[in-house]
Structure 1
């Protein structure tokens, strides 16, 4: 139920599960119910024993009513920072992937050279060879450290940044809240994506980056002082692991913090980074060089193998002006300290256990509250996914995604699409002029389900057996070269980027090509099963589909036209009416307080909250359309719940989530998604259909009326 905006490298993740403890035999094969008046799918994942018997609680707090018992009985595992349907389904997907990777590792010799089977096998086997990795120590990163030690002046720093950029240009398949924790941060970020002003072509985007803490505020606000101290101590400990003496390591750690503080003061905040106008700043190379006269962008792109015909997007000019100034007024010693630490941080998860444990101690335990490091096989699979995700995905789909699931998912999408069209046509606050453009955008939706029509070709990639760090770098270079080769080329809307794989637990909308995307692994219970009754599927995957469609018209998506072009297609009056409604939604979420003294940021989470509300509304309409076709089903109760009640119960079930307070604090500062407990209640509290389903009365906490009730799509 999330939207990924590709141009800013953020993935919105939705949680789903099949092997969850709260599931019954949901994955068993049952006869198709399509021609029956009642569902044959009697076994379902809604356990009545887990739902509060007092239905009045639904009108007070739907999350409490549906999820409290489950949350109480399902604590967070020690190697996790949160636990709910997403993590449960991810565990299932990881176990499926593990079986595939282990089989591939056993059959390296018989697999075709550079086939998905061989590449996955080589990569996984090398990552699991702990003895070899321990023997290597930090040898793999020594050439990088030597290059940093050899820096002598501004020009040598620029050459280093230019020539070494590719080595850590790795993709990531993590969710937006966790992208930061992947440890691949460089001074700035380079991607290729659709030109927001000319969606027919791919261009280069350069973004601010380079911070080791989650957001700029972490470097300046007093409330984060303790964390800054822990971060500085972590930097020093990591430097000591490469034989830098304690005093020098502590001095360099202070230099790194000061360096990053300057970057932070020139950086956009998370809220500002979600404004498309802050992400798109198209310039020619000569114009870019005027912003950074000490950094030659022409030479940089030439080193990346890119021949820029027109120019590129240089976001955050203020940030790059500061970097330009730092190239001449910051000492070589401080630059070396900063680059040395980040080289080690980037490499630490792939080096010997001392480095892995130090990385875990700060980035997972201190920042997120995780108690134990994840098993090695999971960490290696995460790396395989980040570097060879589509190769592993090809093997995953062949084994775990039947064609019938894709077919029925498409049927649901078509039904949700029809419901969305009807809602747009009936809007009383939108003019005919804007409606026409909104329906044009609806008409051009492209749905991508399960897996791509064309698999990525990895045949040119060569990996060396037993060389884990070398495999990571080889794959990074291969992926970087592929991305750079697409710059200046026509946009292919059917392409699945490296950020999305079939085995990923995710769903998202991309505004700059107007696509909605549902990877194979997300199309499982408790959100979707081909033989589940309509109430469950529409409350689950239906709300997800509607959510992604609504992203086309949320605060950001509404700034893109039917073809992904960034432009205003609204009348001034319609935009004003839209903002009045969304301002009320901002205030609703601003009032939620998950921890003492800490509140949800209604502006940061606005787009997702709009999509939650729109998606649930649209999916409810689609369910009613189906129930109207089958009156007997409409009257049917299962476990003494009506179809509409089951719809809303399952819509809340997906937000079952226990989360560690440390992780929650980071999310409140950086994540565009509100905490799960408020996503469970936010949208339904604005729907009269929810109040009717549970016979709630005016004045109940889950009933908003009058000006307090938000109605958008």
Structure 2
């Protein structure tokens, strides 16, 4: 999950651990290896390409389905979760009744009513289009832009909507005050995934710009807008100006650059050109004493573009984005055109996903907790929650022991590191408190209106948080999500139920596989509190340097070495992995895998690991880890990820094993093997 979407802070400190407690053993009685040997490509040596050795035969046997841009075992888990979820939703749709179950059923049934959506055409957007047409001056423009402000939340597992309002509002504790929620403003305004698509000079970026301008013209034409091609050119020019002012991926990940506290008066002084008083009044933010402006260059640029561009161009821009934003809830021609650009042109996906899959995604995005309650009641028993919770305890202790063993870290730095581990609030499976949807109106037969009301509901929920005490138990993922997250400013972790299932986790597996897959995931998320971003926050979630100068210098040198290691992975002749862009995730992978291996060894209680299916314990551990990264993408999707994603491609994340000495012993990796790193080249961060 991206950093700016997941930084939530905690408001509580805790006492220093005087000593690490003994390991809490998360023992598993199962005797299955948990490793799929039918996936092995034995024509490839482990020391040549460990990911392909572990997964090659599976990849050969499973081409990417036509409706996906990537595939793998995690995608199979997502599909299984979707199948389970649609059954629950359809049952709710048939049952009727009242409460959240009825809202789930009505929302999904409305989304699936293609005939009803087709019959309405663009009529559901009549009021929005009229509001844009009525803009007569720059004050009115500011009012519409502010009125369009929405909560910047990830619609996880949903590809239905891009965030394309000029700014997004995010409620989080401020960097210097972790007791109350403050308003953060984040950059937006772009229809393509990243500023690089507008300013990059590569052939693929130039092609994307040409196709995007054609997409703008097509959407306008479908919406009955005259002179579409000329207007598309002007819209593209406006967005390019916004992109040029926008922060880069590196800027967005640098919290020091994001720590900008502005009063309302600062906006007129630092970003003149937009009527900020009208903007904030329309956004319901007039009473806020200050804002944290994550991307100041874009806000300043927005003021300039608001002043310089004609009202007519702004009105065309707003018209296009209104139509494009809701196109998946408009007639089929809009749906097909949106997919042709965002799905096929940008990611190489040849076929639109089935309507029911998109309906599940949209329902999860809007009523995720309501669906999640149904999901965990049927598919996540208390035993699973207890077993994973025990693993979490084991992993926390393993990490604490690793802190104690660091010979380069000063006692005062270790003390705060221990506090950070101790204060971690870990959610397993589902939140302690479910979201209240009583304020959300869902009307059967009003698909687009239902989604619009959900956006307003989310926004009002965000506004209501501002100035209030922080809820450390807040979740940002639904239980049916195949993912996990660290919340650095909350010092919290979320492990949704759907990722805590086979093949990642199964109580019938031997401990090696469970620790190699799920244990490494847990370790990864814990380690995010200590990656290049999370390490800048103390145990209370404050942005504060708690390191001695020499300790931080050592830490940064390790990060630099890891970034260089990943810079060497080159999926395309003209495009490599960006080691700096992916550094946070790579640090968490290295530290998490090392802690998971420690925890696995400790779980053996001093006894030798059994040999199962001819594999030693350490072999099963590392193979389970490599198989947890069994994901592969279409070339276009991989290119997009290399530009926009903070995660390295899965096949390279599996190669994290190169940094652990035990991997070399387990598979007899020798100097001269392509993946061999000399001991001094192996990166040890924590």
Q: Shift in Å at residue 465 of structure 1? A: 1.8
User: Does residue 324 of the first structure (1) align with residue 303 of the second (2)?
Assistant: yes
Structure 2 residue corresponding to 1:89, chosen from 51, 56, 77: 77
Structure 1 residue corresponding to 2:507, chosen from 527, 530, 543: 530
Q: Are the aligned partners of 2:512 and 2:617 in contact in 1 as well (CA < 8 Å)?
A: yes
Structure 1 residue corresponding to 2:483, chosen from 506, 521, 541: 506
Q: Distance in 2 between matches of 1:378 and 1:258?
A: 35
Structure 1 residue corresponding to 2:56, chosen from 48, 62, 68: 68
Length, aligned pairs only: 668
Q: Distance in 2 between matches of 1:58 and 1:322?
A: 51
Structure 2 residue corresponding to 1:677, chosen from 622, 626, 651: 651
Which residue in 2 is equivalent to 1:581? 558
**1:237/1:361 Cα in 2 relative to 1: closer, same or farther (>3 Å)?**
same
Q: Shift in Å at residue 218 of structure 1? A: 1.4
Structure 1 residue corresponding to 2:662, chosen from 681, 689, 696: 689
How far does the alpha carbon of each residue in 1:440-498 deviate from its partner, in whole angstroms, 9 at most, with x for none?
A: 1111111111111111111232222211111111122112111110011010101224x
- Residue 628 of structure 1 aligns to a residue whose secondary structure is coil
Q: Shift in Å at residue 238 of structure 1? A: 0.7
User: Does residue 52 of the first structure (1) align with residue 41 of the second (2)?
Assistant: yes
Q: Distance in 2 between matches of 1:396 and 1:303?
A: 38
Q: Distance in 2 between matches of 1:608 and 1:202?
A: 26
User: Does residue 6 of the first structure (1) align with residue 5 of the second (2)?
Assistant: yes
- Residue 182 of structure 1 aligns to a residue whose secondary structure is coil
Q: Shift in Å at residue 44 of structure 1? A: 5.2
Which residue in 1 is equivalent to 2:214? 233
Which residue in 2 is equivalent to 1:26? none
**1:161/1:308 Cα in 2 relative to 1: closer, same or farther (>3 Å)?**
same
- Residue 181 of structure 2 aligns to a residue whose secondary structure is strand
How far does the alpha carbon of each residue in 1:399-455 deviate from its partner, in whole angstroms, 9 at most, with x for none?
A: 211011010101001111111001001112211221111111111111111111111
Which residue in 1 is equivalent to 2:193? 214
**1:432/1:133 Cα in 2 relative to 1: closer, same or farther (>3 Å)?**
same
User: Does residue 656 of the first structure (1) align with residue 630 of the second (2)?
Assistant: yes
Q: Distance in 1 between matches of 2:511 and 2:640?
A: 37
Q: Are the aligned partners of 2:139 and 2:278 in contact in 1 as well (CA < 8 Å)?
A: no
Q: Distance in 1 between matches of 2:78 and 2:156?
A: 11
Which residue in 1 is equivalent to 2:19? none
Q: Are the aligned partners of 2:143 and 2:278 in contact in 1 as well (CA < 8 Å)?
A: no
Q: Distance in 2 between matches of 1:7 and 1:59?
A: 36
Structure 2 residue corresponding to 1:698, chosen from 668, 671, 685: 671
Q: Are the aligned partners of 1:686 and 1:703 in contact in 2 as well (CA < 8 Å)?
A: no
- Residue 630 of structure 2 aligns to a residue whose secondary structure is coil
Q: Distance in 2 between matches of 1:7 and 1:174?
A: 12
- Residue 549 of structure 1 aligns to a residue whose secondary structure is helix
**1:4/1:541 Cα in 2 relative to 1: closer, same or farther (>3 Å)?**
farther
- Residue 448 of structure 1 aligns to a residue whose secondary structure is strand
My pick for the range that moved more, 384-393 or 645-654, is 384-393
Q: Which runs of 5+ in 2 are unaligned?
A: 9-24
Tell me the C-alpha RMSD between the 2 structures: 1.9
Q: Are the aligned partners of 1:270 and 1:604 in contact in 2 as well (CA < 8 Å)?
A: yes
How far does the alpha carbon of each residue in 1:27-47 deviate from its partner, in whole angstroms, 9 at most, with x for none?
A: xxxxxxx999xx753445423
Q: Are the aligned partners of 2:425 and 2:491 in contact in 1 as well (CA < 8 Å)?
A: yes
Which residue in 2 is equivalent to 1:27? none
Q: Distance in 2 between matches of 1:134 and 1:309?
A: 42
Q: Distance in 2 between matches of 1:517 and 1:643?
A: 28
Q: Are the aligned partners of 1:101 and 1:121 in contact in 2 as well (CA < 8 Å)?
A: yes
- Residue 200 of structure 1 aligns to a residue whose secondary structure is strand
Q: Distance in 1 between matches of 2:310 and 2:675?
A: 58
Q: Shift in Å at residue 52 of structure 1? A: 3.4
Q: Shift in Å at residue 73 of structure 1? A: 0.9
Q: Are the aligned partners of 1:504 and 1:522 in contact in 2 as well (CA < 8 Å)?
A: yes
Structure 2 residue corresponding to 1:558, chosen from 535, 543, 550: 535
Which residue in 1 is equivalent to 2:293? 314
Q: Distance in 2 between matches of 1:708 and 1:378?
A: 45
User: Does residue 345 of the first structure (1) align with residue 324 of the second (2)?
Assistant: yes
How far does the alpha carbon of each residue in 1:555-592 deviate from its partner, in whole angstroms, 9 at most, with x for none?
A: 00000000111111111111111111111111111111
Q: Shift in Å at residue 220 of structure 1? A: 2.0
Q: Distance in 1 between matches of 2:455 and 2:664?
A: 52
- Residue 588 of structure 1 aligns to a residue whose secondary structure is helix
My pick for the range that moved more, 403-412 or 317-326, is 317-326
| TM-score normalised per structure 2 | 0.94
How far does the alpha carbon of each residue in 1:603-651 deviate from its partner, in whole angstroms, 9 at most, with x for none?
A: 000000001101110000111111234x2xx342111000110000000
- Residue 46 of structure 2 aligns to a residue whose secondary structure is helix
- Residue 394 of structure 1 aligns to a residue whose secondary structure is helix
Q: Distance in 2 between matches of 1:379 and 1:309?
A: 37
Q: Distance in 2 between matches of 1:116 and 1:397?
A: 15
Q: Are the aligned partners of 1:655 and 1:676 in contact in 2 as well (CA < 8 Å)?
A: yes
**1:44/1:517 Cα in 2 relative to 1: closer, same or farther (>3 Å)?**
same
Q: Are the aligned partners of 2:504 and 2:514 in contact in 1 as well (CA < 8 Å)?
A: yes
Which residue in 2 is equivalent to 1:449? 428
Q: Distance in 1 between matches of 2:322 and 2:71?
A: 32
Which residue in 1 is equivalent to 2:366? 387
Q: Distance in 2 between matches of 1:5 and 1:537?
A: 30
Q: Are the aligned partners of 1:305 and 1:485 in contact in 2 as well (CA < 8 Å)?
A: no
**1:164/1:711 Cα in 2 relative to 1: closer, same or farther (>3 Å)?**
closer
Q: Distance in 1 between matches of 2:277 and 2:602?
A: 57
